[in-house]
Amino acid sequence: MSRSKFPGFCQLNARLSLIMLLFLLFMPVLAQEEYRQFYSESLKTTNTGMYVLGGWAITNIATGGYGWSRFDGDKKYFHQMNLFWNTVNLSIAGYALYSNSLLDISALGPDEIIDKHTGTERILLINTALNVSYIGAGFIMKHLAGKSDKNSDLLKGYGNSLILQGSFLFLFDLVLYRILRSQRYDFVENINVALLPDGAAVRFVMPL
């Protein structure tokens, strides 16, 4: 039996094909918007982290300046190093916030968005490893302080400062990394599989 005898069936087939075509054309646009929304949330998280880091830095600079002028011995050098160290932290936080404010998310493609997000994750992981070395260096300096008469106060004060600052940054970088990784995993889970009208699935591949 020829389908030409059933014009209604042919028209229905044509409509379904047109709907399917329009849906396939629309899906990349929808997916791209989802990527941009994801990265917008990613930047908000990163910026919040930079505000926390900046707040820590400002607090340490203020107390460090006071303690440097107020105390003697190892406490003087402890506060001195806190001030020096957090001048760098404040610069990093300020630069990151400034760079993120200039970023045009609408100009980024899905691959660029994922690369930037995972790049931030990698930096945080590297920093976490470096922070362990800072803590270790602090303990070494404290150990050497007991063997030095001339620089005992300096080594002890700087050592205590490195242990404090390294410990804070270790927790800070690790927590921020885990939050960003969780956001990425949730995004992949939500966008990785989308159902088509006929129940079939189209998979969005995203590098991890």
Is pLDDT at 1 greater than 70 in this prediction?
no
Reading the block at residue 149, the tokens are: 């008469």
> Helix, strand, or coil here: 6?
coil
What whole-number percentage of the chain has pLDDT above 90? Answer: 68
Residue 187 or 6, more confident: 187
Count of domains observed in the chain = 1
| Residue 6 within any structural domain of the chain | no
Q: How far is CA 125 from CA 28, 49, 97, in A?
A: 32, 15, 20
Q: Which domain holds residue 158?
A: 29-203
| Residue 19 within any structural domain of the chain | no
- CB-based burial, 105-130: b 16+ in 10 Å, e otherwise: beebebeebbebbbebbeebeebbee
| Residue 13 within any structural domain of the chain | no
Is pLDDT at 25 greater than 80 in this prediction?
no
| Residue 185 within any structural domain of the chain | yes
| Residue 146 within any structural domain of the chain | yes
What whole-number percentage of the chain has pLDDT above 70? Answer: 77
Q: What value, to the nearest 5°, has the Cα angle with vertex 130 and ends 161 and 177? A: 105
| Residue 5 within any structural domain of the chain | no
Residue 6 or 122, more confident: 122
Residues near 124 by Cβ (< 8 Å), separated by ≥ 6?
Answer: 173, 174, 176, 177, 180
| Residue 12 within any structural domain of the chain | no
Residue 189's pLDDT is 83
Is pLDDT at 16 greater than 90 in this prediction?
no
C-alpha closest to that of 93 among 60, 56, 51, 130: 51
Residue 93 or 18, more confident: 93
pLDDT digits (tens, 9 = 90+) for 36-83: 999 999 999 999 999 999 999 999 999 999 999 999 999 999 999 999
| Residue 197 within any structural domain of the chain | yes
Confidence of residue 34 (pLDDT cuts 50, 70, 90): confident
Q: How far is CA 201 from CA 13, 176, 191, in A?
A: 20, 33, 11
The widest CA-to-CA distance across the chain, in whole angstroms, is 105
Residue 33's pLDDT is 81
Is pLDDT at 200 greater than 60 in this prediction?
no
DSSP-assigned beta bridge partners for residue 195: 201
Residues near 133 by Cβ (< 8 Å), separated by ≥ 6?
Answer: 166
> If you average pLDDT over every residue of the chain, what do you get?
84
> Helix, strand, or coil here: 207?
coil
C-alpha closest to that of 134 among 169, 82, 171: 169
Residue 197's pLDDT is 41
Cβ atoms of 94 and 54 within 8 Å: the answer is yes
Residue 192's pLDDT is 56
Cβ atoms of 139 and 129 within 8 Å: the answer is no
Cβ atoms of 46 and 172 within 8 Å: the answer is no
Average pLDDT over residues 155-177: 98
Q: If you search the block for the tokens 């927590």, which residue do you land on? A: 175
Residue 19's pLDDT is 46
